[in-house]
Amino acid sequence: MNTQPFLSSNQSISFEIFPPKKWESFPNLYETLDSLKQLNPAFISCTYGANGSNSKKTAEIVSYIQNQLQIEGIAHLTCAALTKESFLSTIKTFQEMGIHSVLALRGDKPQDMTEEAFASRTYQHPSELIPELKAAGFTVAAACYPEKHYEAASMEEDLHYLKHKVEQGADFLISQLFFDNDIFYRFLDETDKAGIRVPIEAGIMPITSAKMIGNTINLSGASIPKKMTDLLAKYQDNPEDLRKAGIEYAADQIRDLQAHSVSGIHIYTMNNAKTAQDILGLL
């Protein structure tokens, strides 16, 4: 069931971006966002550091998306380093800046945090933030993992906690990236059997360089199908062809997901509007 007006068009496209390291790079990001607007996304979300360090940047960017571009802007919010006080002040800032949608997350242990501090954090899981965010009037999304979260002992356990996030009020879910659509379809079946009945946006990460496999992809834990390893091997010495093949791969994935009537596609843009334009141009 879909209760969010900005998700009302089935098979919507949405984007994720992240805050630049330096404030000086904001004009470039705003240009990227202006280009992404031309692609008519249902929403654009902006990441948030696990230690909360770029919370002001996230708020600035989401406010630009919401108020200047008039597109639904979703602020990620991680609870790994949140205290009750910082949580309340962050959501107050969001409200004052006209932001009304949040992706509630836990985040991983920040590098500068001890194991003890991480273990005794105020909010253990986003399920503890969600009711407070809902009570404050926010639309709330949560994360889900088609190949299960790396800490979960089993998919069954992960789905149990995912259902809990939905029961606490998550309006919709955004998936971790994946490269094998069959894994996502299996996951949709499993969520359905578990009684999870909110829209699930499919996370797609276009691979545009060999370097991306080493970094982002390894961190996500997504399995890499043979089709993609073959493609990487074939074009390893030709960055331009590799980029083209990566874009075609993502477009193929999206075409197939749309044919299977998934509720929406969430593209991890890595702040690259051209990549998003090229993918959508192929659809």
Helices and strands (H and E) in the chain: how many: 12, 8
Catalytic one of 16, 72, 128, 132:
16
Q: How far is the CB of 4 from ligand FAD (least distance, A)?
A: 16
82 scored as a contact of ligand FAD (CB under 6 A): no
Residue 246 burial class via C-beta count within 10 angstroms: exposed 0-12, middle 13-18, buried 19 and up: buried
Q: How far is CA 240 from CA 178, 204, 243, in A?
A: 23, 20, 5
Residue choice 151, 167, 192, 230 for contact with ligand FAD (CB under 6 A):
151
Comparing CB distances to ligand FAD, the nearer of 140 and 242 is: 140
CA distances, 269 to each of 26, 118, 120, 247 (Å): 16, 30, 34, 11
Question: In Å, what is the CA distance from 250 to each residue of 37, 100, 199, 240, 277?
Answer: 20, 30, 21, 16, 12
Q: Is 140 in the site for ligand FAD (CB under 6 A)?
A: no
**Interface with ligand FAD includes 271 (CB under 6 A)?**
no
Active site residue 16: yes
Classify 51 as helix, strand or coil: coil
**Judged by CB under 6 A, does residue 14 bind ligand FAD?**
no
Binding of residue 56 to ligand FAD (CB under 6 A): no
Answer for which of 164, 224, 225, 248 binds ligand FAD (CB under 6 A) is: 164
Nearest CB to ligand FAD, comparing residues 105 and 250? 105
Site residues for ligand FAD per CB under 6 A: 47-48, 50, 76, 78, 105-108, 125-127, 143, 149, 151-152, 157-158, 161, 164, 174, 176, 203
